[in-house]
Amino acid sequence: MSWVPYDLRNVCTTHATTTTCQPSAYMYINLLVSLFGRSRDVTPVGGGYDYAPGLNFDHSSGGYGYAGTSSTTQSEDNREYDFIIVGGGTAGCVLANRLTEISDWKVLLIEAGSEEPDITSVPSLLFYLQQSSVDWNYYTQPQPSACRARPHGRCRWPRGRSLGGSSAINYMIYLRGGPKDFDEWEQRFGNPGWGYDKILPYFKKSENNGNIDEVGTEFHGTDGPMSIERFPYQDQNVFAMLDGMREMGMELFDQNGAKQLGGSLIQCFTKNGQRYSANAAFIRPIRNVRKNLTIRTLAFATRVLIDPDTKTAYGVEYVQNGKYYKAFAKKEVIVSSGTLATPQVLMLSGVGPAEHLRDYNIPVIQNLPVGHNLHDHTTVDGPIISFSNLTSTIVPPEQRVADTYTFSKISRGPLASTAGIQINVYMATSFEKDEDRPDMQFTAEGVKLGDYFADPTKFNEVTQRALAYYDGYILRPIILAPRSRGYILLNETDPVFGLPMVFANTFTREEDLDIMVEAIQRMVEITNTPTMRKIGARLVTTPLPACDHYSFGTNEYWRCVCASYTTTLYHPVGTAKMGPKNDPTAVVDPRLRVYGIKRLRVIDASIMPAVTRANTNAPTMMIAEKGADMVKEDWLGGGNDADNSWRGGTGGSWIGLTILADW
């Protein structure tokens, strides 16, 4: 399936003056389709894995449809596997790789999206991926405390829809979180084996760090499949921001070690200038090599098959190419569909809040708080910095085309970076009581100011732009430890194929707003540093329209901006919370097994009891690495469980068998 970009006709009837809607923009998108629209992963059927077109992107509705989804016909293929993984995102790709290391295990990986198109490999073009055929295009439900200036009061939450999942469309930032994040999972939330000393080896296991001479080996690895490096390109504004941070008294260092407070030029999930998704790192090298791996793309899982009497998962039902199929698992089903889709799969399978399932006439197999504990790293549009002509990176259309051809040939030039998003700041506000722990993060997103101020309320709907070309920064504040919690419900109109409803409840806790405002007031001071003044950077003091009844720069103004121009940093977590058996809010145990259901696990970001104080792609990869080892320990023995309370052996008396018998 080729990449299908967002249809600009959806916005250009009302935004004809923006750069996105100019004839050159249409021509540029055609160039991108020509150069990067296909996938290097596509192989004819019979070439070792399945590729079955049939999922069609509907621009009129912004959604997807399957031919024949109304049919009740079952196509029984009766194929049996040892493990079935539902979801080919970050976690699913890691699991498929690690489980197929056991040559006797047959593994099926089911992914609802397409193969990963080559457009995802171009770092600067990540906004061209949003609202396209590789984005699920989720929206939050309207709420009074956030997204008030967005169309219909709803915020867009992009999530990846291809092999690689959100690792194929995200900002590529490699930040893990601090040691206390994981010690908190273990100590406060009661999950033995998830403390920092236990999970650090799994971060290192995945990692092949290209800057190891600088960052050292105490916290980093060099033998893993995932390439980590800095972008090969930085413009002068990036270096000016870094100098400004030093002038504000910030220390710059590797923020993936023992401490976080300060700043850095971050490392990213890239290899030789290209995005390196979980699909690129964990699937491409083994595809058509390991014969025990079967991959089905464009295959939408409708439910996990669970015996209601024994409460044992034994397979998955899915739709591919308009037909329903069942696949069977001899050992386990592992749901890795992500924080927003995993609850949907579980609830459709009869695992979830009993009252909600009964509303949809879904037989309740296990009453669990699936979909609760939703939280995210919220950000907002502002403050905004403008640059003078001295450092503006905006170029004529012909130069943009030349840069694109350069990238297509050698993966270098302005498109081989995300511009200001390479900058990271961690700070602690007065609300953070834990010593040396950040509760706020900042990054800088390049923007063309004329386009933004043409209609700030809908700017996120008209984001077809390359990050490399800008004359301003949105200095994005990111709350790292939000108090607010939301939830996920099944779609009222179409619970199976409709996108689940996201009730984010952003800023429903007043402290979250207070933290954001304090951090913004501190960070705007960077525009007063000598380096930033030297290059002509200044704080844009034009009030945003929804908040122009407040004096610019006051606390009341920034509170209004936060509530009105809300957006996401794409880090939702928590909807299948990990916790001990006595935790009534937990869905999975510390070994990621679903409570009350045998041979069913959840392994993805949804199990996080609390979001890490960092970007979540690296922690999700760690969860999958650790989860894969747990699966191997439970089925093969020879390993240690999370808290070292048992040791598997090679002889006949294997305590791992007891664990499976009780599960």
Partners of residue 162 on adjacent β-strands: 114
pLDDT of residue 160: 97
Is 390 within 8 Å of 593 (Cβ atoms)?
no
pLDDT of residue 64: 36
Q: Which residues contact 583 (CB under 8 A, 6 or more apart)?
A: 189, 190, 577
Q: Report the alpha-carbon angle 339-343-348, nearest 5.
A: 150
Is 611 within 8 Å of 571 (Cβ atoms)?
yes
Q: Could you count the other beta carbons within 10 Å of the beta carbon of residue 530?
A: 9
pLDDT of residue 607: 98
Alpha-carbon span 657 to 663, nearest angstrom:
10
Sign (positive or negative) of CA dihedral 632, 635, 638, 642: positive
Which of 15, 375, 377, 571 is an active site residue? 571
Is 476 within 8 Å of 569 (Cβ atoms)?
yes
Q: Provide the Cα torsion 80, 81, 86, 91; round to 10°.
A: -170
Structure tokens at 406: 């350069």
Backbone φ, ψ for residue 407 (5° rounding)? -65, -40
Assess whether 372 carries a catalytic annotation. Answer: no
Alpha-carbon span 32 to 128, nearest angstrom:
9
Q: Report the alpha-carbon angle 402-408-412, nearest 5.
A: 80
The DSSP code sequence of 326-356 is: EEEEEEEEEE-S-TTTHHHHHHHTTEE-HHH
Please report, in angstroms and rounded to a whole number, the separation of the first and last CA atoms in the chain.
40
Q: Provide the Cα torsion 158, 593, 315, 159; round to 10°.
A: 0
pLDDT of residue 18: 79
Q: Could you count the other beta carbons within 10 Å of the beta carbon of residue 441?
A: 25
Q: How many CA atoms lie within 13 A of 644 on its CB side?
A: 3
Residue-level length of the chain = 663
Structure tokens at 554: 């006051």
352 φψ region: left (φ > 0), alpha (ψ -120 to 50), beta (else): left
**How far are the Cα atoms of 45, 86, 339, 380, 500 from residue 342, in angstroms, in the given order?**
28, 9, 6, 27, 10
Q: If you count DSSP H runs as helices and E runs as strands, how many of each does the chain have, helices first?
A: 17, 27
Alpha-carbon span 538 to 563, nearest angstrom:
24
DSSP type of residue 661? H
**How far are the Cα atoms of 238, 317, 326, 409, 616 from residue 160, in angstroms, in the given order?**
28, 22, 25, 26, 14
Sign (positive or negative) of CA dihedral 355, 483, 507, 266: negative
Alpha-carbon span 553 to 71, nearest angstrom:
58
Partners of residue 304 on adjacent β-strands: 316
Q: For helices 617-636 and 196-206, give the axis angle rounded to 10 degrees.
A: 100
Residue type, 171: Y
Whether this prediction's pTM lies above 0.85 is answered by yes
| Run of H or E residues at 94 | helix 90-99
Sign (positive or negative) of CA dihedral 290, 291, 296, 301: negative
Residue type, 151: P
Q: Could you count the other beta carbons within 10 Å of the beta carbon of residue 27?
A: 11
SS3 state at 236: helix
Query: Domain 50-116+279-370+573-662: which CATH class?
Result: alpha beta
Structure tokens at 219: 């916290």
DSSP type of residue 280? I
pLDDT of residue 63: 37
| Per-block mean pLDDT, blocks of 10 residues, the chain (663 long) | 83 74 90 96 49 33 34 57 98 98 98 97 96 96 96 95 98 97 98 98 98 96 98 97 98 96 98 98 96 96 98 97 95 98 98 98 98 97 95 96 98 97 98 95 96 88 87 97 98 97 97 98 97 97 96 98 94 98 98 98 98 98 98 82 29 29 40
